[in-house]
Amino acid sequence: MAEPPQTDEGWFALHDLRTVDWDAWRDAPDHEQDRAVREGIDYLQRHEAVADADEGVSAVFSVLGHKADLMVVHFRPTLDALSTAERAFDRTALGGFTEQTTSYVSVTEVSGYGSTDYFDDPESVDAGYRRYVEGKLHPDIPEDTYVSFYPMSKRRDPEYNWYDLDFEERSDMMSAHGETGKGYAGKIKQVIASSVGFDDYEWGVTLFADDPTDIKDIVYEMRFDEVSAKYGEFGQFYVGRRFPPEDLDAFLAG
């Protein structure tokens, strides 16, 4: 058997994607719309403030195109907390105007393809590296930002089977991947979360950027990295923009 990398896990993630029933929304009387906006803002503010758990982060995004209108992203310490957050949205008057078209469940992950010092003894690595790992396991979400979310897997074809490769070979490819990624320092923030055992692909990738072209550029450039070119398989892409809960009214009016 090829050797799996060591991993460490942090917060669990739920990407909750919803369409708005615009016909029902337009037909609804003012007082129902007002209640939906009020309860929606209250829900989003409370969850962004993580009033429902000890720690975590949440954010809401408007999504372009037909696949969804809204994406609510939650990171929480447990799957149970995510489940509670998901159900609480359904119970709001806003939830009644939405349909959950898809969703994605995962857990933030770092893997030991590089140095294994952190995995052998987290105390042995320097504070800067620990902060770096901590930021991956317990990410924040930039405020005024574009987002791209997509699930992906590593291929398991007879010719290209990632899970059959020697550790060394995978490690070399991941390090080349990391080098490409470093070229986007300051432009792209990525959250990599494993969905093995939780959802249909193996990872959920969430990219944040001030400039959406940087999202296009990194995904395109990485297609030429050996690891993505030979072993990457991708699900659907969702692109959107974060908005503050107080702007829910404007989102629904628009």
Q: Indicate which residues carry an active-site annotation.
A: 150
d(CA 73, CA 93): 19
116 token code pair: 């294994």
- Which region among 23-31, 59-67, 69-77, 111-119 touches ligand 76R (by CB under 6 A)? 111-119
Interaction of residue 174 with ligand 76R, rule CB under 6 A: yes
- Which region among 24-32, 52-60, 93-101, 200-208 touches ligand 76R (by CB under 6 A)? 200-208
d(CA 178, CA 46): 36
CB contact at 8 A, 70 and 61: yes
Tell me which residue has its CB nearest to ligand 76R. Answer: 181
Interaction of residue 171 with ligand 76R, rule CB under 6 A: no
- Which region among 37-45, 68-76, 97-105, 186-194 touches ligand 76R (by CB under 6 A)? 186-194
* Interface pick for ligand 76R out of 40, 232, 240, 245 (rule CB under 6 A): 232
d(CA 254, CA 153): 36
Strands (E) in 38-196, as ranges, are 57-63, 70-76, 98-111, 146-154, 188-194
Instruction: Using DSSP, state whether 5 is helix, strand or coil.
Output: coil
Determine if residue 110 is left, alpha or beta; phi over 0 gives left, psi from -120 to 50 gives alpha, anything else beta. Answer: beta
Mask for 205-224, x = binds ligand 76R (CB under 6 A) = x-x----------xx--x--
* Interface pick for ligand 76R out of 3, 144, 182, 197 (rule CB under 6 A): 182
Residue 5 phi/psi, 5-degree rounding, is -75, 155
Whole-angstrom Cα Rg for the chain = 19
d(CA 74, CA 15): 7
Determine if residue 97 is left, alpha or beta; phi over 0 gives left, psi from -120 to 50 gives alpha, anything else beta. Answer: alpha
Residue type, 226: E
Which is nearer to ligand 76R, 181 or 235 (by Cβ)? 181
d(CA 127, CA 55): 22
- The count of residues interacting with ligand 76R (CB under 6 A) is 22
Which is nearer to ligand 76R, 36 or 188 (by Cβ)? 188
- Which region among 42-50, 74-82, 90-98, 170-178 touches ligand 76R (by CB under 6 A)? 170-178
> What is the nearest approach in angstroms of ligand 76R to the Cβ of residue 88?
30
* Interface pick for ligand 76R out of 50, 64, 190, 212 (rule CB under 6 A): 190
> What is the nearest approach in angstroms of ligand 76R to the Cβ of residue 22?
32
Which is nearer to ligand 76R, 137 or 174 (by Cβ)? 174
Instruction: Using DSSP, state whether 155 is helix, strand or coil.
Output: coil
- Give the binding site for ligand 76R (CB under 6 A): 111, 113-114, 152, 154, 174, 177-178, 181-182, 184, 188, 190, 192, 203, 205, 207, 218-219, 222, 228, 232
